[in-house]
Amino acid sequence: MRPIPSPGLAPHTSADVKLAVVVLNFNGATFLGACLGSLTQSSYKDFDTYLVDNRSRDASVDMVRRTFPGVKIIVNEGNLGFAAAYDRVFRALAYDYIVLLNNDTVVDEDWLWSLLETAEASPRTAACTSRVLLMEDQRILDHAGGVFSVIGSGLEFGKWSHDLCSGGEPFEVGFGTGCSLLVRREAYLKVGGFDPCYGFYHEDVDLCWKFRMFGFSVMYVPESIVYHHVGGGCYQGIDESPSRTYFCQKNRLANMIKNLEAPNLIWGLGISAGYDALRMGRFFLQNRKDLLLAVLTGYAEALARLRDLMSQRRTIQRGRSVSDAELKPYMPPLRTSILEYRRMLKAHRHRAATGKWAGCVE
């Protein structure tokens, strides 16, 4: 394997770093107090905090104005979703680093310091992600870095299993979760940023995939710990919510079309068709017409955007400096992906049946 080319960004000096933590919010008043309160306890203090509100209907904004007067507030004209709202932030706020943080999280006091220290170690680093643990059972992993699948989704090894990590050195991964993600703004703009049409889900996979293709690194930082309620305290499993299934379907198809080289795209589309046939057969047997419709609507949306996606594909493929072959460490073999997906399904079914996490499910 030839060396990964450097994207050529200049390093900062610690005194010059400008950093913002941006919490995206929609009707999150229940969680915002704990989230923003944990930020005030951060061991690293030199950052600005923003609340970006997608026109909440609850008391979120008033509560933050009253309780956290130091937080800068941006109120959007409507619910823009995750990708479009954060894309506006990156294009409007002139910081060296912008940290994405879910509103239903609580951060450890060294969370931010660990992310920034890792990012500053190399100008090649475009993003750093945290070790995310479930709030409902803090022994269980929600995220520990991820890799890319040939069907365009992200795969998070160890998700919903016991957290066996007691820390350790940062290491490279394929993608990091948008739940807690420090991003170098210059790199974000260089690769084109989030696709605003994604709305929710897999936008973090797409962004980090582009970072990787353009020669940047993405780091997982085990010492940066975040506790996550997941879905605003409403448990989200695999193929349970029609809305989630729809967004995941259309966005993973978009990821494939834009980011895979031609031979892998053809292979991936075939695998994707088989995957969807199996899922839709299961939905039919379960009489889940809502999930069937969600998958079909996701296909329709991807087809409706095909011209735009192909235009993005041409830009990305012309600009990339790292091939699919060189990204192989972050794109596991099909069998490995299937086994990990089956493990996650078993963990999800155990949680759905018992209300508790089994941890490592064989």
Q: Stretch 169-187: mean pLDDT, rounded?
A: 97
Residue 214 shares a structural domain with residue 272: no
Task: For residue 17, count other CB atoms closer than 10 A to its CB.
Answer: 15
Residue 66 shares a structural domain with residue 182: yes
Judge whether residue 341 has pLDDT over 60: yes
Q: Stretch 153-173: mean pLDDT, rounded?
A: 87
CA distance 94 to 51: 16
Give the chain's mean pLDDT: 91
Residue 144 shares a structural domain with residue 192: yes
What is the model's pTM?
A: 0.92
Return the pLDDT at 3.
Answer: 43
H-helix or E-strand spanning residue 141: strand 141-143
Residue 227 shares a structural domain with residue 320: no
Answer whether 25's CB lies under 8 Å from 54's CB. Answer: yes
Q: Stretch 133-154: mean pLDDT, rounded?
A: 93
What is the CATH number for 114? 3.90.550.10
Tokens of 261: 């080289």
Q: How far is CA 273 from the centre of its chain?
A: 24
Which amino acid would we find at residue 300? A
Residue 151 shares a structural domain with residue 287: no
CA-wise closest residue to 203 among 214, 215, 216, 191: 191
Residue 224 lies in a domain: yes
Taking only the tens place, the pLDDT of each residue in 112-122 is 999 999 999 99
DSSP letters spanning 165-232: ------EE-SB--TTEEEEEHHHHHHHT---GGG-SSSHHHHHHHHHHHTT-EEEEEEEEEEEE-SGG
Residue 1 lies in a domain: no
Judge whether residue 68 has pLDDT over 90: yes
Residue 199 shares a structural domain with residue 317: no
CA-wise closest residue to 290 among 251, 249, 246: 246
Residue 3 lies in a domain: no
Residue 23 shares a structural domain with residue 117: yes
Return the pLDDT at 186.
Answer: 97
User: Which distant-in-sequence residues (6+ apart) come within 8 Å of 116 by Cβ?
Assistant: 17, 19, 44, 97, 128, 182
Residue 275 shares a structural domain with residue 207: no
Residue 206 shares a structural domain with residue 144: yes
Which amino acid would we find at residue 357? W
Return the pLDDT at 163.
Answer: 83
Report how many domains make up the chain: 2
Which amino acid would we find at residue 259? N
Residue 222 shares a structural domain with residue 262: no
Taking only the tens place, the pLDDT of each residue in 274-299 is 999 999 999 999 999 999 999 999 99
Return the pLDDT at 104.
Answer: 95
Q: How far is CA 327 from the centre of its chain?
A: 18
117: containing domain: 18-233
Judge whether residue 312 has pLDDT over 70: yes
Judge whether residue 145 has pLDDT over 80: yes
Name the more confident of 254 and 138.
254
Return the pLDDT at 115.
Answer: 97
Taking CB atoms within 8 Å and a gap of at least 24, the contacts of 319-323 are: 319/191, 319/213, 319/214, 320/213, 320/214, 321/5, 321/7, 321/213, 321/214, 321/215, 322/4, 322/5, 322/212, 322/213, 322/214, 322/215, 323/261
User: Which distant-in-sequence residues (6+ apart) come within 8 Å of 41 by Cβ?
Assistant: 109
- pLDDT above 70 covers a percentage of the chain that reads 92
Residue 120 shares a structural domain with residue 145: yes
Residue 171 lies in a domain: yes
Query: Could you say which of 181, 205, 233 is where a domain stops?
Result: 233
CA-wise closest residue to 110 among 154, 162, 164, 45: 45
CA distance 75 to 65: 12
CA distance 127 to 249: 25
Return the pLDDT at 7.
Answer: 62
Q: Stretch 10-32: mean pLDDT, rounded?
A: 84
Question: In the 3-class helix/strand/coil scheme, how is 74-130 assigned residue by residue?
Answer: EECCCCCHHHHHHHHHHHHCCCCEEEEEECCEEECCCHHHHHHHHHHCCCCEEEEEE
154 band by pLDDT with thresholds 50, 70 and 90? very high
Return the pLDDT at 358.
Answer: 66
Return the pLDDT at 4.
Answer: 46
Judge whether residue 362 has pLDDT over 50: no
Answer whether 260's CB lies under 8 Å from 213's CB. Answer: no
Return the pLDDT at 1.
Answer: 34
Answer whether 256's CB lies under 8 Å from 273's CB. Answer: no
